[in-house]
Each structure stands twice: as structure tokens, then as C-alpha cells.
């Protein structure tokens, strides 16, 4: 059977990359592109040009081409196209008289030209597989001044909606911008202000040079003859198309054409109305048989505008291009209110230099000679304002300036800087699940010195409600970059990667040099020219991200370990190893990190021992997680106010949708007639909920007025619910699910319990201390550093994770001492507790560190039963013995107790001793933790 499984696995290993290659055209395209990237040299005198995703060959890119093909005739030019009918006549002619080649979009020739041309010019974006190579220079001109909002400024937009534009901006060595307004909004709306590494020049719009006639010597009459336009004056109707192509109906098209017809019927004699539609919808109109009523996509818009006398548009940036020749403009905006609400504008429509109306009849009434003649005077102030803010560089020399910055030939052109001198920390946070890792990075980010650091998070674009919620908890100052699309790997790279994913990066079967080259190519694909000061794998569980960071070209690298990782490696959830597949690879990357950071000193000690085969011991250290003290204090203050007001229901959360719908989540405070335990943790095996429930059952049998509340969700929820029912605890143990603000609920309980089998630190009990709640924790790494030997809470016996009876004793102690707790600045002497267990054979095992008392005797009697006896009992009149979750009655002067085999025992010699816990100063704690981070985690 084992041999057959091996054969099946081997067959799958071989077959999967083949199936992927055969069935996924995108993978084949990437393989072609990567072949040229890896095996072809960059052509020094080659220029690659792409405009509007190759839908047409116009605009800024076309204007730059016109200049370059004349001034640099010895260069080779590759024009990307989708449809030959959209290629301007002069470019077609140039293919015969210059070194100009037309390459079909995403063809093999396209891939080769994109991979090997030294100069790349685009006005939008290249596809996600594009990698700007060393030796290439990428210039992006963008495609106009925006009146409509962009990127993250679009109302209701998701963080990752414009991820490929952001990626292209990071890859572009230089941006040639029409004005400062466009540069600022383009960069800021794509979350790059402060971290943008590339050159930004204010050149003006090259395409406006065609409007002004500085690129081609040609008068208006000759222009009209060349374009096939009538001698009449021209009114150009150029509305924005707001529907997606697939949702555009023939009725939509007929309405648009009807508007053109109605305009033609009303305009003054001697004017001809033409329709110019967005390239999104042009093909749709042609397919439906209306091509003869359109301005061809093969005609450059700005060249056309030179022959236009009046422009009618809406929000399109075409009006910015038209303004320099100071001819009348009209704005027909039928959906201005809904568009403002759903998308938004950067400028109020009231500021536009022309009539603004949402009524077509008004447009018809005002589209007359009187309006045309008086436009310049009527809108003189608005025009001058727009000219001053947007048109200063649209002077006929914009193309010269853009070409100069492409070839790095001028230092006199105005340059803007959107980078700062702060250290950029690139962080992967682990996916923003509802867990301690997420809370930790949020708390850390809120406490960072924003004068010194820029925090840049990388994540995958797929969103979940919990992910969006947690991302929104981060400060506004952080940035996001998204890793998306197919990775940069060839067919054979896939085998190499899969081998490393199966055997680990250090396997002799892995070609490490090729694997490193693949990762570094992908790093450049994702981040372009952005080079952080340091990468921080804060999640620590994702082998792809850990590998990407470990083998990246970034000189400083850190990985965090949020648990005792060998225990995580061996963790089983629902019958399967939860993390083994990832961690067996992740461990092999540790040697490439400068620091390997646990989140507590005790966890660091264990990780250092367990993982010594993977990295030098000197690389291991620890940094404690921060807490969000200010927010929790605010929450508790709100709860107190509601209680003082006599509210019977307490507000947990309040949310408001963009449409104004408010949702409030409320809860009943717990019944104070009971002793209420609560645990706050993800429902996962290492959190030991099953052991806690078994321990609580023992306690509840002896102390019926007790309840347990379980806050959290996770993969073992069903198993937890079944155990609760099986033990008959449905009326005493309550599943609360995930709570966004758990400390509000916790504030009404008596004790917080964290019964973990393994723990990196135990952030939940730190937050409980902040909420002034006493805590019980198991004696494991991480929790040990929080409770600190009883100074901040009760620590169970070391065997409590394996023996619920031992944990039950500590829970019973918390009930017995509930009225004697006192909070002090410094605990001089924690409550002395002695733990022991009997094994099945009756032998004793002690589980208290560094504490013995000769007056406590553990033995085995002649009857074969184990016993405990306290000598000199007169010295300990207030002693207590707890056995399996129950306080035993004092046994006279003998103080002798027979104990069943496999029982747990706890002795407290002085129950009258004040139970003192130290006050938790979260501000002092956070300052110390932040100093730890800056000195240990920032290399």
C-alpha cells in the first residue's frame, strides 16, 4: 500500500505542471514571456509602445512616437495593437519607411518585444505578468487629468481594486505627468505617497501637442481633408460610457444615437455633430452596425480636436485637452448626483468652464451661436482658474519634455518627489484572520513612530469580511501592496518549486540558484522599483511568502514565530497535521533571515532548542507583542457609562453601512449570582478548550454556581460543542463565538482562563490584565512570561495541559480566593502553591519548579494507596488541599489524605495569605515592547 501511494504521489507530481500548462493559456503566455526575459538581451535602441491596452494607438504614447520616429530614426519601434483597423495611417506608412513593427497584443512577438526593448512607454498599465528588467526604462504618461476620482478615492472601492495600476506605477522608472494635480492624485489614490521610489516629472500632456499642431505642420483645412471630415464647423459629442460592455444593450446604443440626431437638428446651420465614444464601447457599436456614425478609433483624439469647434462632454478628461485652444465647451451630466455619490469628483462641477446641465433639453436650447460667441467671456474666470491649475505645461513642448525624461537628457524639467526618508518596513501579517497574530500587528502598527517608519503591508487581494474588518483597524498611515496573478515561473521552475515545497528548500533535489532567481523575479514583478529597508514575515506560516522574503534582494530580513513552532509542526486538527506541510518548508528558509523572533522569552528558549538544526542560535531572539491599551480603556469606560445609566443591554459593536444603515450588536451582562469563568481564544487544539471543559466539569460538580463562557471561533467548534453536550453542561458552558470587542464582555466575568497546550505569548490574558481581571494560565512557554510565577495571576501545575484534574484545582483555588485578591504595585511574595500528580501505578510526580517543603510528605501506604501528609500541621492552620477540582475538608491534626491513583493534587499552606497580583501598566509595557522591537527586530 505504501508503495502504491508513493507511485500515485509521483504521478501527481509529474502530471500537475503538465496539466496546468496544457489547460491554462495564461500559464503558456507567461512561459513565453519568461523565456525571453531569461534568455534574451535587452535591445539598447528598441522602443516598445502600448496605448490603452493596445485598443488604439493614440494619445500621449502616439505623440511621443511621432517625435521619436523623426528624431531617432535609427531606433526600432514596436507598436502593440489588438485590431489593425485601429492603427493610424501614418503608423502603417512608417512600417515601410522606418524600423517600425506592429505586434499583435500578447502574441509571441509581443512578448519578445516587451521583454527585450530597452524603452517601454505606456499610458495605462501592462499585464500582471510584466516584469521591468534591469536595463529597461519604463515611462508611464497616464491618460489625462482626472476630474473623476481614482483608485482608493473612488467611493466604495476596495483596497485591491486597482492593484495592477499600483503595480505598474511602482515598476515605472519615470512618470511624465500633465500637471502636479494629476501626479498627486494618481500616486496618493494608489496608496504610494511617501513610499514612491520613482521619478515624477511635470511635462504636460504630449498628446496636447497634436491639438496645438506643433508635431505636424498642417493647417485645419488640410487636417480635415486628411481625416475625411467635412468643411463645416464640427461639434464633437464625447460622453463617458458608464456601463460595462457586456451590459450594454441596443436600447442604450439607440438612445445615444438619438441624442446625436436631436443635437444635429437643433445646432446652428453650418455645424456638423460627430460622436466620439470611449474605446470600451467602440467595438460594440461597430458590431451593431453603427460604425458609419462614429469617429474612427484609428484617429487620434487630440489630432481630431484641432478640427473641432465645440466640445460636448461630461466627466471625460477630454475637456482638459481641449481647453488650451480656448473654444466652447458644454457639459451634459444627466447622472451628476448619483455619480457624485457613487464615485465622486476631485473638483466641484460648479467650477467647470462651461454650461453644466443634467437636462438634455437645456443642452439643446443652449447649443446655439449665442452661447458659442459668448462662452469665452461668460466663463473667463473658470477658464483662467483651470488654465492656471492644469494647463501650464500644455504649451506645445510637452512631447519634447517627455522624450527628454525618457532618455534622461534634461535636468531642468520640474520634478516632484513622493518618497520620504523614513525607513520602509515591508510586512506580511499572516492574512488578517481573527487571531492573535492579527491583533498583535494591529497593536504594533498603532504604536509605531510614523516620523521614523513607513509600514507597508503585502497581502493577497482576495477579501473576506474578517480580513476587511481587520485591515480597517490599522492606522490610516499604513500602505498596502498586493501579490496577485500567476507567479513568474516557467514549466521547469514549477517542478523545482514543487520539489522544494515537498522536501524543503535545503533538499539536494532542489536547484537553489534557480529557485532564488525565480523568487527574485517575482519580487520585482510584485514590487517594481520599491526596495524596503527590511522585510518582516510577521505571519510565519505561509511558505510562499517566507520563501519570497528569505530569498529576496532586500538586505535585511526578519521572521516572527508566534508559537513554539515545533509544537505547531506536530499539531493535529480534525485528524490531520494542520501546519506540517507549510512548516517543513518554512523551517528551511530560516537560515536566510537575519533575525528569528519569538514573542516571549520562554517561547524563544524553546524555539531556539527545537529549531537549532535550521538556523544559527545567535539569530534567535524575542520581542513581546504590544497591547491596544487605549482602545480597551475606552471600551471599558463606555461599558461603565452604560452600567451607570442602568442599561440592561450593553453595546458590543455599532456599524454603519455607506448607505446609512446602522447595526448594533448588544449583549446581556453575565449573571453575577454565578462565578463566571471566560476564555478568549481561537477554537484550535493548541488552545486546549477540551481540557478546560473537562476541568470545568469537575469544578462545576463541586461548585454548582459556576459558569464558563467561551469566546472565539475555529476549526474544532463542533468537537467543543459535542463535549459540552456530552458532559451535560449545556446550561453552564456558553459558546459566544467571535466578538469584535471581547473585553467589553470579559469585564463582567470573574476570571479569565487561558488553558493552552502551547502558546507564543498569551495576548488574551495580557488584555485581561489590562481590563483588571485576574487570570489563570497553564504553565507553558509564553504564558509563563505573562503570569511571571504568580505575580500577575494563577499558574496551574505543569501537568495541567495533559491532566484536566490539575487545571481544575487551580480553577477551584480561584473560586476559594475570590474575596482575598489585592492589587499592588509590586508582589513581594506570590501565593505559594504546590502541585503534584499520582501516576496510574501510584507513583508521585511533582510539578512545581524550585519549591519544596519538608513538611509536605508524598508517599505510598501499606495499603498500596498514595497519600499526602502535612507535618507540623500546627504551623499551617490555614492550609488547603485540593484534589481533582475539589477542596478537601481539613482532616484534624493528622492532615493525612489518601489519594486515588491518577489524581491531581494541589496544596496551599496558607489560605489566609493575601492573594496579591501586580497592577498591569500597559503604557510602560508597550514602551518596553516597542524598544525591544526597534532594537531587536529592526536590523
Does the pLDDT at position 737 exceed 60? yes
Mean pLDDT score across all residues of the chain: 92
- In sequence order, what DSSP letters do the residues of 108-137 get, joined into one string? HHHHHHHHHEEEEEESS---TT----TT-E
Averaged pLDDT for residues 534-549: 97
153-210: pLDDT as tens digits? 999 899 999 999 999 999 999 999 999 999 999 999 999 999 999 999 999 999 999 9
pLDDT (tens digit per residue) in 600-623: 999 999 999 999 999 999 999 999
Do residues 191 and 152 lie in contact, with contact meaning Cβ atoms separated by under 8 Å? yes
Query: Residue 496: helix, strand or coil by DSSP?
Result: helix
Q: What are the tens digits of pLDDT across the range 81-115?
A: 999 989 999 999 999 999 999 999 999 999 999 99
> Where does 488-591 have alpha helices with state H?
491-503, 512-527, 543-550, 565-569, 580-586
pLDDT per residue as tens digits for the range 367-399: 999 999 999 999 999 999 999 999 999 999 999
Which strand ranges, in their side-by-side order, compose the sheet holding 896-899? Answer: 856-860, 866-870, 896-899
CA distance 870 to 893: 9
Classify burial at 725, counting beta carbons within 10 Å of its beta carbon; exposed 0-12, middle 13-18, buried 19 or more.
Answer: exposed
**Model confidence pLDDT, tens digit, residues 582-596:** 999 999 999 999 999
Task: Between 817 and 293, name the one with better pLDDT.
Answer: 817
pLDDT at 242: 67
pLDDT digits (tens, 9 = 90+) for 274-286: 998 876 677 777 8
Does 750 have pLDDT greater than 70? yes
Residue 513 has pLDDT above 80, yes or no: yes
For residue 660, the tally of other CB atoms under 10 A from its CB is 6
pLDDT at position 895 = 85
The whole-number pLDDT of residue 197 equals 98
Q: DSSP states of 248-293 as a string? A: --HHHHHHHHHHHHHHHHHSPTTEEEEE---HHHHHHHHHTT-GGG
SS3 content of the chain, % helix, strand, coil (to 5): 40, 20, 40
H/E stretch holding 14: helix 2-23
Q: CATH 3.40.50.11820: which residues of the chain? A: 39-206
**Chain-centre distance of CA 307, in angstroms?**
48
pLDDT at residue number 2 = 65
Residues of the chain with CATH 3.40.50.2000: 421-484+530-620, 631-815
Summarize pLDDT for 768-807 with one digit per residue, the tens.
999 999 999 999 999 999 998 888 999 898 887 888 999 9
Query: How large is the angle between the packed helices 436-447 and 763-770, nearest 10 degrees?
Result: 60
CATH 3.40.50.2000 fits 421-484+530-620, yes or no: yes
Q: Which residues contact 842 (CB under 8 A, 6 or more apart)?
A: 860, 864, 865, 866, 901
- The CATH fold assigned to 39-206 is Rossmann fold (3.40.50)
- Across the range 657-668, mean pLDDT stands at 82
* Res. 849 pLDDT band, cuts 50 70 90: low
Q: Which pLDDT score is estimated for 429? A: 97
- Residue range 296-316: mean pLDDT, rounded: 92
Residue 823 has a pLDDT of 86
* Residue 850, pLDDT above cutoff 60: no
Look up the CATH number of domain 219-394: 3.40.50.12580
Share of the chain above pLDDT 70, in %: 98
DSSP 640-687: HHHHHTT-SSEEEEEEE-TT--EEEEEEPPPPTTSEEEEEE--SSGGG
**Residue 767 binned pLDDT confidence (cut-offs 50, 70, 90):** very high
Q: What is the mean pLDDT of residues 682-707?
A: 96
Residue 892 binned pLDDT confidence (cut-offs 50, 70, 90): low
Give residue 851's pLDDT.
60
Question: CA dist 75 to 98, 118, 274, 400, Å?
Answer: 9, 11, 37, 17
Considering the domain delimited by 631-815, tell me its CATH architecture.
3-Layer(aba) Sandwich (3.40)
Which residues pair with residue 917 across a beta bridge?
A: 823
Amino acid at each position: 500500500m505504501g508503495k502504491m501511494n508513493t507511485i500515485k504521489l509521483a504521478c501527481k507530481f509529474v502530471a500537475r505542471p503538465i496539466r496546468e500548462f496544457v489547460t491554462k493559456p495564461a500559464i503558456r503566455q507567461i512561459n513565453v514571456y519568461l523565456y525571453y526575459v531569461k534568455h534574451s538581451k535587452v535591445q539598447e535602441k528598441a522602443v516598445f509602445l502600448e496605448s490603452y491596452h493596445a485598443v488604439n494607438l493614440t494619445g500621449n504614447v502616439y505623440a511621443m512616437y511621432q517625435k521619436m520616429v523623426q528624431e531617432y530614426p535609427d531606433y526600432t519601434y514596436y507598436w502593440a495593437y489588438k485590431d489593425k483597423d485601429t492603427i493610424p495611417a501614418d503608423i502603417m506608412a512608417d512600417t515601410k519607411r522606418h524600423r517600425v513593427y506592429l505586434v499583435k497584443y500578447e502574441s509571441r512577438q509581443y512578448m519578445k518585444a516587451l521583454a527585450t526593448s530597452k524603452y517601454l512607454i505606456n499610458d495605462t498599465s501592462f499585464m500582471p505578468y510584466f516584469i521591468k528588467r534591469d536595463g529597461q526604462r519604463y515611462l508611464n504618461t497616464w491618460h489625462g487629468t482626472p476630474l473623476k476620482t481614482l483608485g482608493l478615492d473612488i467611493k466604495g472601492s476596495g483596497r485591491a481594486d486597482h492593484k495592477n495600476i499600483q503595480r505598474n506605477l511602482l515598476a515605472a522608472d519615470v512618470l511624465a505627468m500633465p500637471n502636479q494635480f494629476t501626479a498627486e492624485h494618481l500616486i496618493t489614490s494608489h496608496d504610494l505617497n511617501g513610499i514612491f521610489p520613482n521619478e515624477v516629472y511635470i511635462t504636460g500632456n504630449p498628446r496636447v501637442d497634436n491639438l496645438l499642431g506643433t508635431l505636424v505642420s498642417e493647417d485645419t483645412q488640410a487636417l480635415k481633408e486628411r481625416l475625411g471630415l467635412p468643411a463645416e464647423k464640427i461639434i464633437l459629442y464625447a460622453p463617458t460610457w458608464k456601463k460595462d460592455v457586456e451590459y450594454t444593450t441596443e436600447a442604450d446604443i439607440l438612445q445615444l444615437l438619438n441624442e446625436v440626431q436631436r443635437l444635429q437638428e437643433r445646432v446652428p446651420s453650418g455645424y456638423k455633430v460627430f460622436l466620439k465614444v470611449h474605446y470600451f464601447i467602440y467595438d460594440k457599436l461597430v458590431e451593431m452596425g453603427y460604425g458609419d456614425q462614429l469617429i474612427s478609433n484609428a484617429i487620434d483624439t487630440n489630432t481630431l480636436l484641432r478640427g473641432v469647434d465645440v466640445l460636448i462632454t461630461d466627466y471625460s478628461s477630454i475637456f482638459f485637452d481641449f481647453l488650451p485652444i480656448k473654444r466652447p465647451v458644454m457639459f451634459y451630466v444627466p447622472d451628476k448626483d448619483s455619480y457624485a455619490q457613487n464615485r465622486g469628483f476631485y473638483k466641484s462641477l460648479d467650477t467647470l468652464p462651461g454650461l453644466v446641465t443634467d437636462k438634455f433639453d437645456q443642452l439643446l436650447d443652449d447649443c446655439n451661436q449665442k452661447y458659442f460667441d459668448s462662452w469665452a467671456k461668460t466663463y473667463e474666470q473658470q477658464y483662467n482658474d483651470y488654465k492656471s491649475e492644469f494647463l501650464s505645461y500644455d504649451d506645445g513642448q510637452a512631447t519634447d519634455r517627455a522624450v527628454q525624461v525618457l532618455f534622461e537628457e534634461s535636468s531642468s524639467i520640474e520634478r516632484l518627489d513622493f518618497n520620504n526618508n523614513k525607513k520602509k518596513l515591508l510586512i506580511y501579517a499572516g492574512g488578517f484572520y481573527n487571531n492573535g497574530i492579527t491583533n498583535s500587528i494591529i497593536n504594533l502598527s498603532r504604536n509605531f513612530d510614523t516620523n521614523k517608519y513607513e509600514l507597508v503591508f503585502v497581502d493577497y487581494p482576495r477579501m473576506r469580511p474578517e480580513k476587511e474588518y481587520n485591515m480597517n483597524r490599522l492606522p490610516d498611515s499604513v500602505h498596502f501592496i498586493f501579490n496577485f496573478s500567476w507567479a513568474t515561473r516557467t514549466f521547469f521552475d514549477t517542478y523545482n518549486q514543487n520539489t522544494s515545497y515537498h522536501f524543503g528548500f535545503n533538499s539536494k533535489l532542489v536547484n537553489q540558484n534557480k529557485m532564488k532567481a525565480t523568487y527574485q523575479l517575482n519580487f520585482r514583478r510584485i514590487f517594481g522599483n520599491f526596495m524596503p529597508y527590511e522585510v518582516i514575515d510577521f505571519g510565519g506560516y505561509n511558505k510562499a511568502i517566507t520563501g519570497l522574503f528569505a530569498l529576496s534582494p532586500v538586505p535585511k530580513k526578519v521572521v516572527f514565530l508566534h508559537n513554539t513552532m515545533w509544537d505547531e509542526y506536530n499539531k493535529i486538527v480534525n485528524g490531520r497535521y494542520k501546519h506540517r506541510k507549510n512548516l517543513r518548508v518554512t523551517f528551511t528558509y530560516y537560515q536566510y533571515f537575519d533575525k528569528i523572533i519569538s514573542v516571549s522569552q520562554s517561547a524563544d528558549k524553546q524555539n531556539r532548542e527545537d529549531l537549532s538544526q535550521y538556523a544559527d542560535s545567535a539569530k534567535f531572539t524575542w520581542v513581546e507583542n504590544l497591547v491596544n491599551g487605549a482602545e480597551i480603556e475606552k471600551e471599558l469606560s463606555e461599558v461603565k457609562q452604560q452600567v451607570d445609566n442602568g442599561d440592561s443591554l450593553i453595546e458590543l459593536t455599532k456599524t454603519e453601512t455607506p448607505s446609512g444603515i446602522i447595526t448594533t450588536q448588544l449583549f446581556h451582562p453575565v449573571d453575577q449570582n454565578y462565578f463566571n469563568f471566560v476564555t478568549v481564544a481561537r477554537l484550535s487544539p493548541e488552545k486546549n478548550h477540551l481540557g478546560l471543559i473537562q476541568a470545568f466539569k469537575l469544578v462545576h460538580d463541586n461548585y454548582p454556581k459556576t459558569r464558563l463562557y467561551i469566546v472565539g471561533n475555529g476549526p474544532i467548534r463542533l468537537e467543543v460543542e459535542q463535549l459540552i453536550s456530552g458532559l451535560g453542561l449545556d446550561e453552564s458552558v456558553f459558546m459566544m463565538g467571535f466578538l469584535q470587542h471581547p473585553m467589553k464582555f470579559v469585564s463582567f466575568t470573574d476570571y479569565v482562563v487561558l488553558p493552552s497546550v502551547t502558546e507564543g505569548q498569551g495576548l488574551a490574558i495580557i488584555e485581561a490584565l489590562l481590563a483588571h481581571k485576574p487570570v489563570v494560565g497553564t504553565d507553558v512557554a509564553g504564558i509563563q512570561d505573562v503570569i511571571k510565577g504568580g505575580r500577575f495571576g494563577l499558574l496551574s501545575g505543569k501537568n495541567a495541559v495533559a491532566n484536566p484534574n490539575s487545571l481544575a484545582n487551580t480553577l477551584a483555588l480561584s473560586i476559594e480566593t475570590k474575596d482575598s485578591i489585592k492589587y499592588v504595585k509590586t508582589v513581594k511574595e506570590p501565593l505559594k502553591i504546590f502541585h503534584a500528580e499520582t501516576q496510574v501505578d501510584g507513583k508521585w510526580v511533582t510539578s512545581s519548579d524550585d519549591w519544596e517543603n519538608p513538611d509536605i510528605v508524598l508517599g505510598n501506604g501499606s495499603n498500596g494507596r498514595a497519600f499526602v501528609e502535612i507535618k507540623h500541621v500546627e504551623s499551617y492552620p490555614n492550609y488547603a488541599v485540593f484534589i481533582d477540582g475539589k477542596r478537601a475538608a481539613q482532616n484534624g491534626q493528622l492532615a493525612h489524605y489518601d489519594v486515588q491513583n491518577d489524581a491531581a493534587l494541589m496544596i496551599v499552606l496558607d489560605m489566609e495569605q493575601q492573594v496579591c497580583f501586580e497592577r498591569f501598566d500597559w503604557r510602560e509595557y508597550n514602551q518596553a515592547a516597542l524598544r525591544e522591537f526597534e532594537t531587536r527586530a529592526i536590523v
